[in-house]
């Protein structure tokens, strides 16, 4: 398998999802793109420098994420979703950037969704899945890129960029 290159700022990558065509791009934390909030994703790291990953199917592994409820801020969404999906408590967080998804063909043509990505310092809780997530894996942070596998290349490139911004995935964190 060829090496996956992390997404570059503003690079538009095609994605086909549910019969629709989308263009997905990464945007830095200091340059939030316009669009409807699509919630938050967390690169969850424990005090022991372990990364918490989740999976719906036991094959594709990624970051817990979810959409806002009511008038939640993106950071409130992060905290709630990390608890619900990964059974972790967020004790600190830092915004890393945004993924912007624009529907370019299909029933949602023109819709723009924006998801925030965070580095979340977390405390593990007992694994007790309540919703759609059935699997949790805790791996050394330095091995993150060996384990993150999204369903498509563009999503993996976004995930790898988030890992890069978080200082995870390629060995010890920069000081």
- Domains in the chain, CATH or no CATH each: 13-166 (3.90.79.10)
CB 107 within 8 A of CB 20: yes
Q: What is the pLDDT of residue 168?
A: 87
121-157 per-position pLDDT tens digit: 999 999 988 777 899 999 999 998 999 988 889 999 9
With CA atoms as reference, report the closest residue to 162 among 18, 43, 48. Answer: 43
- List the structure tokens of 120: 């979340």
Q: What is the DSSP letter of 173?
A: P
Q: Is the pLDDT of residue 36 over 90?
A: yes
In the three-class reduction of DSSP (H, G, I as helix; E, B as strand; rest coil), residue 159 is classed as helix
Q: Rounded CA gap, 43 and 6, in Å? A: 15
Q: Is the pLDDT of residue 172 over 60?
A: no
Q: What is the pLDDT of residue 118?
A: 98
Continuous segment of H or E residues that includes residue 40: strand 36-45
Please report which confidence band the pLDDT of residue 7 belongs to, taking 50, 70 and 90 as the band edges: very high
96-121 per-position pLDDT tens digit: 999 999 999 999 999 999 999 999 99
Q: Which residues are 163's β-sheet partners?
A: none
Sign of CA dihedral 105, 10, 158, 88: negative
Q: What is the pLDDT of residue 13?
A: 97
Average pLDDT over every residue of 20-39: 96
């Amino acid at each position: 398998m060829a090496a996956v290159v992390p997404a570059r700022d503003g690079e538009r990558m095609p994605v086909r999802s549910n019969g629709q065509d989308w263009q997905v791009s990464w945007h830095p934390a200091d340059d939030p793109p316009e669009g409807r909030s699509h919630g938050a994703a967390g690169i969850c790291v424990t005090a022991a420098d372990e990364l918490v990953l989740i999976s719906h199917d036991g094959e594709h592994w990624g970051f817990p994420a979810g959409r806002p409820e009511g008038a939640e801020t993106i950071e409130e969404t992060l905290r709630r979703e990390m608890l619900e999906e990964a059974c972790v408590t967020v004790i600190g967080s830092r915004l890393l950037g945004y993924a912007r998804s624009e529907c370019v063909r299909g029933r949602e043509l023109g819709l723009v969704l924006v998801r925030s990505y965070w580095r979340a310092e977390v405390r593990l809780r007992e694994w007790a899945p309540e919703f759609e997530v059935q699997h949790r894996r805790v791996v050394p942070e330095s091995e993150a890129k060996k384990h993150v596998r999204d369903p498509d290349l563009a999503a993996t490139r976004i995930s790898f960029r988030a890992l890069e911004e978080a200082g995870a995935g390629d060995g010890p964190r920069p000081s």
